[in-house]
Amino acid sequence: SGTLYLTATHLIYVDTSAEVRKETWILHHHICSVEKLPLTTAGYPLLIHCKNFHVAHFVIGQERDCHDVFTSLLKLSQPVKPEELYAFSYNPKMSRESREMGWKLIDLKLDYQRMGIPNDCWEITDINKDYEVCSTYPPEIVVPRAASRAVVMGSSRFRSRGRIPVLSYLLTCVCVSVCVSVCLSVCLAGFSARCLEDEQMLQAIREANPGCPFMYVVDTRPKLNAMANRAAGKGYENEDNYENIRFKFIGIENIHVMRSSLQKLLEVCEMKSPSMSDFLTGLESSGWLRHIKAVMDAGVFLAKAVREERASVLVHCSDGWDRTAQVCSLASLLLDPFYRTFKGFMVRTCCTSEPAGPGGGLRPFPGTRMGDLHKAALLQLLIHLLLFFSDQMFFVLARIFEKTHSLWPFLLQRKQELRNPLYRGFTAYKELQPNTLPFSFQ
């Protein structure tokens, strides 16, 4: 038994039956669904599913009280405008200067410098400073130095939503003096259209890596999906038009299929007293591990192409949001031990979310010696992160930096408790080559 409180921002349950006061706080905007269940002998049940996978089950004595809580949560959990989100009302009693410093903790330019950019092959350009090229990209992007402004602009007009190929990660091999890259892009606008500037853009990417005569173009969609999308103006590169490219379909399902699979997995996890057979059958039918394996296989392919073949890779899907960001980020984590450190993972998260819209959270091998972050740190990201806008332009225009606080200072204050105790250090593992056979997934 206990007391249920509804505030402007949280649902709070205080357990009065325990010897030690126990409180459960649920942020309204974490609530995914609220459901009234049939009457029981104990009272009126209310089932709450949260976006961070928590489930709360309350039994309320009076029907009127249950209905009032139900209707209130429905309204409070569905904000009409961004300013109603908790991030805008959160006030940690921090000075303006401290808040601004929090947003400046991660500087992507420093990561570019770490990768040796700018150099003879790649440059940082402000061509998108007024978001004229692409509203979802940051003002400064990294493109091949050989690509002229006219080529970049021409490619942007040909690519869906103006999402030209931009650099996501650059691996510089000092011993052989080659640069290889993983780039972000989205698929082509048009069924059988051709664009000379876009062909020149890919040629510039390939020639920025003189150590390999070809480059990979990876479409993360299943081939049948890509062919169907092509009729809607979201096609893919024709190898006859692009010189020295090797095209490859990866076959990762879209976000809607992923969500459906995740929902089936959650239903399996919420089964009451399932047998091992029931659980394994439900897990298999959800298809969740197959989706995870597909993303892992794609990341491993990219990493091997860069590491072993010294080939540049251009990655895209239909919109360049979920699959593209997941695969490129995973490849970066496999290739570069810096991104498996506490600070590096923060940088990689910003790289994923800024250049290509909302990205998917990736697990840097928590619970192993290979990553600096404990799974608790990833849980904190899941709890606190909210997507305000998918477009960089709207993010800036809404003055998010002035009205909200960055999550990074909060996590850095708890760095010791969020670190992976098994982590063996930055130099212990350089490039990772995970086994993606089915028995390797837990």
Known binding residue 321? Answer is yes
CB 316, CB 186: distance < 8 Å: yes
DSSP-derived secondary structure for 394-408: HHHHTTHHHHS--SH
Query: Is a pLDDT exceeding 90 seen at residue 94?
Result: no
pTM, full prediction:
0.87
- CA atoms of 97 and 380, how far apart (whole Å): 24
Q: What is the pLDDT of residue 192?
A: 59
- CA atoms of 205 and 182, how far apart (whole Å): 10
Known binding residue 255? Answer is yes
Distance set, CA 31 to CA 9, 49, 51 (Å): 11, 6, 6
| Token code pair at residue 67 | 């209905």
Query: Is a pLDDT exceeding 70 seen at residue 183?
Result: no
Query: Is a pLDDT exceeding 80 seen at residue 222?
Result: yes
Known binding residue 320? Answer is yes
118-126: long-range contacts, CB 8 A cutoff, minimum separation 24? 118/145, 119/179, 120/145, 121/145, 121/146, 121/179, 121/208, 121/209, 122/167, 122/170, 122/179, 122/181, 122/208, 125/152
Known binding residue 252? Answer is no
Grade residue 17 by pLDDT with cuts at 50, 70 and 90. confident
Q: For 214-225, what is the mean pLDDT?
A: 91
CB 365, CB 341: distance < 8 Å: no
pLDDT in tens, 249-265: 999 998 899 999 999 99
- CA atoms of 370 and 434, how far apart (whole Å): 11
Q: What is the pLDDT of residue 182?
A: 53
Active site residue 317: yes
Rounded to the nearest integer, the mean pLDDT of the chain is 84
- CA atoms of 312 and 236, how far apart (whole Å): 17
**Closest residue by Cα to residue 170 from 116, 108, 110, 207:** 116
DSSP-derived secondary structure for 338-363: GGGSHHHHHHHHHHHHTTTSS-----
- CA atoms of 103 and 101, how far apart (whole Å): 5
**Closest residue by Cα to residue 182 from 29, 25, 339:** 339
Query: Is a pLDDT exceeding 90 seen at residue 244?
Result: yes
Known binding residue 15? Answer is no
Known binding residue 318? Answer is yes
Known binding residue 317? Answer is yes
In 208-321, alpha helices (H): 223-230, 255-269, 276-286, 288-307
Grade residue 391 by pLDDT with cuts at 50, 70 and 90. low
Taken as a whole, the chain contains a residue count of 442
Q: What is the pLDDT of residue 403?
A: 87
Q: What is the pLDDT of residue 110?
A: 93
- CA atoms of 113 and 110, how far apart (whole Å): 5
- CA atoms of 2 and 358, how far apart (whole Å): 39
Q: For 55-71, what is the mean pLDDT?
A: 96
Catalytic residue among 317, 328, 350, 351: 317
Query: Is a pLDDT exceeding 80 seen at residue 208?
Result: yes
Known binding residue 435? Answer is no
Contacts of 357 (CB under 8 A, 6+ apart): 136, 319, 320, 321, 325, 390, 391
